[in-house]
A and B are shown apart, each in its own frame.
Chain A
């Protein structure tokens, strides 16, 4: 699979969903990670509203987003008329074919600007594959596993960031990326995190 850093180098905008901001916050080094990607990083105002809900329980994801915006690492984007038809089609209809506002806005904007939708929700990946096959959709773990992150943070810090996201934010990792994760952090370590699918690799692999 093509790396995220190469996509951003070619000018693709990264559109982050709430799930990604939550995971980034848990890593403890979100600024450094996002700084690894040369392109523009955007979050919709719908996602900002959603993150603000977590404030009542003391979660600081909305504060992180404010900080990233003030540092110029992330730009807030209010969904405009060009993306609205996609957004509306993603929130209106049966449960199976719709998403919540933040998830839908992330996809609609990414599709509109030809960017990369960064979203963990597997249902969102399924809907995108069915309705927006040309859209590049990636989960948070792709950001964290990117070679540029290892290069700039160093492997030890990269591993710690991933462990933090798995432990503190219960980051989800799609089955198809589990082998990559296992190669980096090891099978025994992976068993500690209930958000992960069970990895059945080669016998003795670790």
Chain B
């Protein structure tokens, strides 16, 4: 039975409505028109000075693309990531808007379901390292090495950066299919913690670079949201720091020098084969590898451009050198699921325990009812198979 303690105060409802309106990108005037009230009424409602009527709430919920229950449900988590990303750009960018909305929705759903199921996600965040005056590349190199040491990664390559960020640091990381020019987003929220959204359409090497680029922002300025896109300006100190950090983290100086020495021993020229083997060893793109060799003075500045103007280093070359091993597992399985697998499991458990209904979950995960049923398929059969022998100990 719903008791008075479970209900939100007018102030809490007003605050939630304000966040929902800002997330939907609606003005108070437009909201007033939608609810057929004066703008001053919306102001008063959002400030908690006037109780919203049910009829008004329903109209506003539809106008904001949400439900009245999503506003009034005590556990509902309200995040303001979308307006924070919106403030980053001078002009509205639909691709960034869509991606930030997706990140907001995923994080909000995951945090709410974790809370409802009593799950506490461990965080193991390294200390923040704000960018200081002086050589920004040197700082990035040092900070990347420091973090590698802090994580106990040793000199080897990182084959699964997503697992490192998720399992070792406790960053919420989502792989979803985004518009091509968007590589990734990073945001930090006090309640949800650090969150990243990566473009699952990109090859694994690029995805790794994006994750490390966003990791640099987490290390240097975690309160500031960040978007990595093809056409984003890259000349700022923060961006140069992030790019160098990403390269240094994926390709630490000493191990690269050591591997380079081994691989080129007794030979006179740098070849495509060297680049392909080194790139494969460190799990990075050929271009990233050559640029790193240039940075470490192991190759002349302009080497990548020379290769490019002399036939490039293409997939066929890679196949000749690596054969079938060239096919690294793509992050496509996670990216193609209707919702990230962990989130899907949380939703199934919440449904099995009768905490959330199909309708509530569909709304929470931004799925239609058919998609939600797909996510829940087999949940009842699992329940009837739940045997003590396979009971989890936690």
Q: Do A and B come from one complex?
A: yes
Cβ A93 vs Cβ B357 within 8 A: no
Chain B residues within an 8 Å CB radius of A57: 368, 370-371
* Chain B 339-394 interface residues, beta-carbon cutoff 8 Å to A: 350-351, 354-360, 362-363, 368-371, 373-374, 376-378, 380-381, 383-385
B80 to chain A, nearest CB (A): 21
Chain B residues within an 8 Å CB radius of A84: 54
Cβ A98 vs Cβ B69 within 8 A: yes
A124 to B376, CA, bound (A): 16
B90 CB within 8 Å of chain A: no
A123 to B356, CA, bound (A): 7
A126 to B380, CA, bound (A): 16
A175 to B371, CA, bound (A): 23
A53 CB within 8 Å of chain B: yes
Chain B residues within an 8 Å CB radius of A89: 2
Chain A interfacial residues counted at CB < 8 A: 49
A88 to chain B, nearest CB (A): 6
Given A101-B58, A104-B69, decide whether A95 and B355 contact each other with a Cβ distance below 8 A.
yes
B73 CB within 8 Å of chain A: yes
A126 to B1, CA, bound (A): 11
B6 CB within 8 Å of chain A: yes
* Chain B 54-92 interface residues, beta-carbon cutoff 8 Å to A: 54, 58, 61-62, 67-70, 72-75
Interface with B: A29-37, A65-73, A153-161, A190-198, which one? Answer: A190-198
Chain A residues within an 8 Å CB radius of B377: 170, 194-195
Q: Mark B5-17, 1 if CB is under 8 A from A, else 0.
A: 0111000000000
Chain B residues within an 8 Å CB radius of A22: 369-370
The listed residue (A88, A124, A130) touching B54 by CB distance below 8 A is A88
Identify which of B7, B69, B384 gathers the most chain A CB atoms within 10 Å of its CB. B69
Chain B residues within an 8 Å CB radius of A88: 54
Q: Mark A114-158, 1 if CB is under 8 A from B, else 0.
A: 000000111110100011000000000000000000000000000
* Chain A 45-76 interface residues, beta-carbon cutoff 8 Å to B: 46, 49-50, 53-54, 56-57, 59, 61
Label chain B's interface by main secondary structure. Answer: helix
A13 CB within 8 Å of chain B: no
The listed residue (A100, A126, A200) touching B359 by CB distance below 8 A is A100
Chain A residues within an 8 Å CB radius of B163: none
Chain B residues within an 8 Å CB radius of A42: none
A131 to B1, CA, bound (A): 7
Q: Chain B: which residue is nearest A124 at the CB level?
A: B357
Cβ B380 vs Cβ A196 within 8 A: yes
Given A93-B7, A94-B6, A197-B381, decide whether A59 and B355 contact each other with a Cβ distance below 8 A.
no
Given A101-B67, A121-B358, decide whether A169 and B373 contact each other with a Cβ distance below 8 A.
yes
A206 to B332, CA, bound (A): 42
Chain A residues within an 8 Å CB radius of B357: 99-100, 103, 121, 123-124
Given A18-B359, A87-B54, A170-B377, decide whether A98 and B369 contact each other with a Cβ distance below 8 A.
no
A174 to chain B, nearest CB (A): 9
Q: Mark B35-70, 1 if CB is under 8 A from A, else 0.
A: 000000000000000000010001001100001111
Cβ A91 vs Cβ B68 within 8 A: yes
Cβ A50 vs Cβ B369 within 8 A: yes
A60 to chain B, nearest CB (A): 11
Chain A residues within an 8 Å CB radius of B362: 100
Chain B residues within an 8 Å CB radius of A170: 370, 373-374, 377
Given A56-B368, A94-B74, A198-B381, decide whether A122 and B354 contact each other with a Cβ distance below 8 A.
yes
Identify which of B7, B62, B73, B378 gathers the most chain A CB atoms within 10 Å of its CB. B73
Given A100-B67, A195-B373, decide whether A200 and B384 contact each other with a Cβ distance below 8 A.
yes
A92 to B358, CA, bound (A): 17
A185 to chain B, nearest CB (A): 17
A131 to B359, CA, bound (A): 19
A53 to B1, CA, bound (A): 30
A98 to B116, CA, bound (A): 13
A92 to B12, CA, bound (A): 13
Given A197-B381, A198-B384, decide whether A94 and B58 contact each other with a Cβ distance below 8 A.
no
Q: Chain A: which residue is nearest B115 at the CB level?
A: A95
A130 to B354, CA, bound (A): 13
Q: Chain A: which residue is nearest B368 at the CB level?
A: A54
Top 8 nearest A-B pairs by Cβ distance?
Answer: A100-B359, A93-B2, A93-B6, A197-B380, A170-B373, A54-B368, A92-B72, A198-B384
| Interface residues in chain B, defined as those with a beta carbon under 8 Å from any beta carbon in chain A | 1-3, 6-8, 54, 58, 61-62, 67-70, 72-75, 112, 116, 350-351, 354-360, 362-363, 368-371, 373-374, 376-378, 380-381, 383-385
| Interface residues in chain A, defined as those with a beta carbon under 8 Å from any beta carbon in chain B | 18-19, 22, 46, 49-50, 53-54, 56-57, 59, 61, 84, 87-104, 120-124, 126, 130-131, 169-170, 172, 175, 194-198, 200
> Can you list 21 residue pairs at the A/B interface with Cβ under 8 Å?
A56-B368, A91-B67, A93-B6, A93-B7, A93-B74, A95-B75, A95-B116, A96-B354, A97-B1, A97-B6, A98-B2, A99-B360, A100-B67, A100-B359, A121-B358, A121-B359, A123-B351, A123-B355, A123-B356, A123-B357, A197-B384
